[in-house]
Amino acid sequence: MEKLAFPAPIVQIEDDRTATSVEALKRAILDNLYYIVGTTQANASNQEFFAAVAYTVRDRILARWFATLACYKQQDVRVVCYLSAEFLMGPHLANNLLNLDLEEPIRQAVAELGRDLGVIEEQESEPGLGNGGLGRLAACYLDSMATLGVPAIGYGIRYEFGIFSQQIRDGWQVELTDYWLRYGNPWEIRHPHEAVEVGYGGRTEGWTDSTGRYRVRWVPASVVRGVPYNTPIVGYRSGIANDLRLWRSESTESFYFDRFNSGDYQGAVAGKTFAENISKVLYPNDEEIQGKELRLQQQYFFTSCALQDMIRLHLRAGRQIDTFHEKWAIQLNDTHPSIGVAELMRLLVDEHGLDWEKAWEITSNTFSYTNHTLLPEALERWPRPMFASILPRHLEIINEINARFLSEVRKHFDGDEARVSRMSIIDEHGEKFVRMANLACVGSYRVNGVAALHTELLKKEVLRDFYELWPEKFINVTNGVTPRRWLAVSNPEQSALMTRRVGNGWLNNLDELKQLEGLAEDAAFRAEWRRVQHDVKVRLTNYILEATGISVDPSSMFDVLVKRIHEYKRQHLKVLHILTLYFRLKRKPNLEMAPRTFLFGGKAAPGYAMAKLIIKLINSVAEVVNTDPDVKHRLKVVFLPDYDVSLGQKVYPAADLSEQISTAGKEASGTGNMKFAMNGALTIGTLDGANIEIRDAVGHENFFLFGLTADQVQSTLAQGYRPRAIYESNPFLREVIDSISSGQFSHRDQNLFRPLLDQLLNSDPYLLFADYQSYIDCQDRVTEIYRDQEQWSRMAILNAARMGKFSSDRSIREYSENIWRVAAITLC
Ligand SMILES: *Cc1c(COP(=O)(O)O)cnc(C)c1O
């Protein structure tokens, strides 16, 4: 990637007030504790102390932040705007300390003030503004953009309530609201003077402007105010701080004042509630759409805020509106912000008076779209009547975009009306729908999948018609994760070991870990590797005891499956494996078996009954297995409640075995798979998503592969798949299924798991039974190899050494070069 050098920053980076000596930091922490938090050192709770430390760190970011913005302006560069309904950032403090190289002085300053940095870091409540992989990807990309010096702004919603927190009661998931702002958020800065207004509903009307041109104006029924809250995103030792701008919805006083004055007090208050509800809560569904009005209102809210903000910044820099696309590259993280295509057209045509053709040229050279799913139920579409009532002007614009687009399709594919109907942005069936993926494809100059297989399946299936029309638009960018948070911050023990051997260059060039390859053959290094891994497992063991009351053996194999609970991810296949081992031990209580600890974690969407039943099944099996004397510590099953980024940081590093067992062709990429392997876990997995590329990178001999391929999954289903026949012919599978249906794990209740078992026996859409024996056999190979600890360590080291490709820095370089065409900046 091309690098632009920069003159010295305009703003002085360090002055007395923001010096980084231990003495200066102590002074600053105490000042912030006193003047900002409003307490004294003696009275401060750890929570308050955390806030003071966070302010102290933020103070040291501000100069970089302003310098970064000044540089972007001065160099007149193209800026990437990453639009995402979710940003699953995780706690900021430890990551900022690493990236700013402040960890040691802050640790010492905090210690000299009588506190422990580890304890202080634990006080931070994480902003859970995302569901899982998609939101976490956005967070990793922000980290990499700031590290590489890619000019970027993240745009999203400042939800008052993030993803619910999960409790387990009697084995069932219970959802509690996540009021993450309870103690305030020291990282954000509210900028009310940069607020914008966003309309909803109402009608459109035609008018003629002074040049005699026919124009349309939207007269919304209600208007809300969007207020930006900015959080600095600092790069790893790059001196750069980019901006995460999250918008909060508020009522516009002036608007409701009218109603208030006319005596409609109820109406005024209802309007206020409407406005404040928009950014109230994150929808807790992963991979499944919720066709609710509020969801569309949220999507339009932040997208409109973002576009208005960009146009304001563009014009403020003294530029003309018709160069907008040269200065802004908008990445749509899934279809959630794809209404932006119509909104930018509206702003350009209705508000800025451009003609349609010019506006379309700008719009279609600004947007790019990342698709994240192959599940048909996750493709967003809005009922047209609902869409019309919320965004009447946008529906008109979409109809115009669609009419012009479909005439292009007709030109290309003469007479193929079936294709025209498939590609139409409006689904004309039934009550009619607006298809957001079609809008995103039409309005974007690049469309990407998130792993090689995923992109191929998009071209072959989900977006095939679009690929055939515009093959040049399609490109793959395999996901990545940041090695700062997912290795350095979360696994300091292993990081230190690596750095001792190969230096710390891997932190922003993960390929440098290749140098560890040779050490896989070094017995002393392997022994050291195992000692470190044991320490990390002891750390998790203590956490497990504290969180669940279950004591596990850190010398046992940690076999881990953590991710959102979903049928396609097949947590229940893992349960079938556990029960298969359980019955082997029941038959032969003296069977020699290396002890395994099975760790599960993940949230189920509150309305997803089958996923919640899978959680109950895991906990029911745990209850029986963990207390059965025949098992004698050889098997332990633990469900870790409330899986989030903080818990992930504890779990990924401690895993020996990473479970990536989705039905082939269903997981777009996965990123958990990368975090595990980077930390030296071996993967057992299917040929799905990025598993395929991970296996190629680490070596096929260092990866436990099982199961049908995506093609075989399709042909199996096409040939009339009969799961019951597999059940009837496999005595081990039968034993497991029968034991669940007999009530052995549900206090004799034979109905509890009936929906799950009926589905498996009758349709099994995710092919657990088809993959069962292959999975069990593969797990037996895992057990065999684990007995040879030297061999296991060799394989683990090679995994960690060969994961360079899966750094999000590589992903961001590819986006920068192949999609955004932006140059990186270095501050000097
Ligand atoms: C990485 C991550 C995910 C994604 O995990 P997958 O295994 O790729 O589904 C979900 N949630 C959290 C908290 C994560 O850190």
- pLDDT, one tens digit per residue, over 186-222 is 999 999 999 999 999 999 999 999 999 999 999 999 9
Which of 562, 603, 806 gets mutated to test ligand 1 (max ligand atoms within 8 A of its CB)? 562
Q: 380-397: per-residue pLDDT in tens? A: 999 999 999 999 999 999
Question: Radius of gyration over alpha carbons of the chain, in Å?
Answer: 27
- Encoding tokens for residue 675? 């975090």
Mean pLDDT, residues 343-362 taken together: 98
Which of 285, 479, 563, 642 gets mutated to test ligand 1 (max ligand atoms within 8 A of its CB)? 563
Query: Do 86 and 31 have their domain in common?
Result: no
Which of 95, 564, 571 gets mutated to test ligand 1 (max ligand atoms within 8 A of its CB)? 564
Residue 257 belongs to a domain: yes
Q: How far is the CA of 694 from the centre of ligand 1 (A)?
A: 16
Q: Residue 367 is part of a domain; what is its CATH number?
A: 3.40.50.2000
User: Is residue 248 annotated as a catalytic residue, yes or no?
Assistant: no
Residue 510 belongs to a domain: no
Query: Do 50 and 143 have their domain in common?
Result: no
Among 675, 805, 810, 813, the active-site one is 675
- pLDDT value of residue 453: 98
Q: 165-188: per-residue pLDDT in tens? A: 999 999 999 999 999 999 999 999
Number of domains making up the chain: 3
User: Is residue 612 annotated as a catalytic residue, yes or no?
Assistant: no
Give the amino acid at 43: N
For the chain, what percent of residues have pLDDT higher than 70?
97
CA atoms of 438 and 407, how far apart (whole Å): 15
CA nearest 800: which of 444, 572, 499?
499
- pLDDT value of residue 112: 98
CA nearest 578: which of 740, 767, 427?
740
Strands 222-234, 241-251: pairing is antiparallel
Q: Is the pLDDT of residue 592 over 80?
A: yes
| Confidence band, pLDDT 50/70/90 cuts, at residue 436 | very high
Q: How far is the CA of 670 from the centre of ligand 1 (A)?
A: 7
Q: Is the pLDDT of residue 378 over 60?
A: yes
Strands 557-562, 596-601: pairing is parallel
Q: Is the pLDDT of residue 512 over 60?
A: yes
Provide the total of helices (H) and of strands (E) in the chain, helices listed first. Answer: 33, 27
Residues within 6 Å of ligand 1 by CB? 132-133, 136, 563-564, 644-645, 648, 670-672, 675
Inter-residue contact 139 to 815 (CB < 8 Å): no
Q: How far is the CA of 769 from the centre of ligand 1 (A)?
A: 25
Chain position carrying tokens 């049928």: 567
Q: Is the pLDDT of residue 780 over 70?
A: yes
Inter-residue contact 259 to 311 (CB < 8 Å): no
Residue 186 belongs to a domain: no
Query: Do 4 and 116 have their domain in common?
Result: yes
Chain position carrying tokens 């115009």: 400
CA atoms of 450 and 456, how far apart (whole Å): 10
Q: Where in the sequence is the domain holding 52, given as residue range(s)?
A: 1-75+93-123
Sign of the torsion formed by the C-alpha atoms of 669, 675, 679 and 683: negative
Q: Is the pLDDT of residue 225 over 90?
A: yes
Inter-residue contact 419 to 409 (CB < 8 Å): yes
Among 272, 372, 537, 612, the active-site one is 372
How many Cβ atoms are within 10 Å of 786's Cβ, its own excluded?
17
Query: Do 80 and 69 have their domain in common?
Result: no
Q: Which residues pair with 80 in a beta bridge?
A: 152, 329
Q: First and final CA of the chain: distance in angstroms?
A: 18
Q: Whose CA is nearest to atom 7 of ligand 1?
A: 672
Query: Do 153 and 67 have their domain in common?
Result: no
Q: How far is the CA of 21 from the centre of ligand 1 (A)?
A: 37
User: Is residue 564 annotated as a catalytic residue, yes or no?
Assistant: yes
Residue 509 belongs to a domain: no
User: Is residue 675 annotated as a catalytic residue, yes or no?
Assistant: yes
Ramachandran angles phi, psi of 616, nearest 5°: -60, -40
Helices 523-548, 789-801: crossing angle, 10 deg rounding: 90
Q: Is the pLDDT of residue 74 over 90?
A: no
CA atoms of 85 and 593, how far apart (whole Å): 46
- pLDDT value of residue 272: 86
Q: What share of the chain is helix, strand, coil (3-state, %, to 5)?
A: 55, 15, 30
Mean pLDDT, residues 20-28 taken together: 96
- pLDDT value of residue 823: 86
Weakest mean pLDDT among 4-13, 317-326, 375-384, 410-419? 4-13
Query: Do 801 and 816 have their domain in common?
Result: no
Q: Whose CA is nearest to atom 4 of ligand 1?
A: 133
Inter-residue contact 272 to 264 (CB < 8 Å): no
Q: 461-501: per-residue pLDDT in tens? A: 999 999 999 999 999 999 999 999 999 999 999 999 999 99
Q: Is the pLDDT of residue 331 over 70?
A: yes
Residue 798 belongs to a domain: yes
Helix ranges (DSSP H) in 470-608: 483, 492-502, 523-548, 571-587
Q: Is the pLDDT of residue 699 over 60?
A: yes
Give the amino acid at 462: V
Q: Is the pLDDT of residue 257 over 60?
A: no
Three-class SS of residue 718?
helix
* Residues whose CB falls within 8 Å of the CB of residue 55, separated by 6 or more in sequence, listed in order: 32, 36, 37, 186
Inter-residue contact 774 to 473 (CB < 8 Å): no
- pLDDT value of residue 291: 77
How many Cβ atoms are within 10 Å of 43's Cβ, its own excluded?
8
CA nearest 59: which of 91, 86, 82, 27?
27
- pLDDT value of residue 8: 47
Residue 491 belongs to a domain: no
CA atoms of 287 and 376, how far apart (whole Å): 10
| Confidence band, pLDDT 50/70/90 cuts, at residue 683 | very high
Query: Do 728 and 665 have their domain in common?
Result: yes
Residue 228 belongs to a domain: yes
CA atoms of 434 and 309, how far apart (whole Å): 26
| Confidence band, pLDDT 50/70/90 cuts, at residue 317 | very high
Mean pLDDT of the chain: 95
Mean pLDDT, residues 328-335 taken together: 98
Residue 489 belongs to a domain: no
| Confidence band, pLDDT 50/70/90 cuts, at residue 254 | low
Distances (CA, A) of 475 to 139, 366, 448, 456, 467: 22, 16, 5, 9, 10
Distances (CA, A) of 10 to 65, 66, 243, 404, 647: 11, 9, 18, 48, 40
Among 325, 327, 564, 603, the active-site one is 564
Q: Give the distance between the most distant pair of CA atoms in the chain.
A: 92
- pLDDT value of residue 207: 96
User: Is residue 372 annotated as a catalytic residue, yes or no?
Assistant: yes
Query: Do 745 and 777 have their domain in common?
Result: yes
| Confidence band, pLDDT 50/70/90 cuts, at residue 377 | confident
Q: 536-571: per-residue pLDDT in tens? A: 999 999 999 999 999 999 999 999 999 999 999 999
- pLDDT value of residue 374: 87
CA atoms of 379 and 373, how far apart (whole Å): 8
User: Is residue 193 annotated as a catalytic residue, yes or no?
Assistant: no
- pLDDT value of residue 10: 46
Query: Do 117 and 203 have their domain in common?
Result: no
Q: Is the pLDDT of residue 14 over 80?
A: no
Q: Whose CA is nearest to atom 5 of ligand 1?
A: 672
Inter-residue contact 49 to 120 (CB < 8 Å): yes
Query: Do 746 and 797 have their domain in common?
Result: yes
Query: Do 230 and 116 have their domain in common?
Result: no
Reported pTM: 0.97
Query: Do 154 and 70 have their domain in common?
Result: no
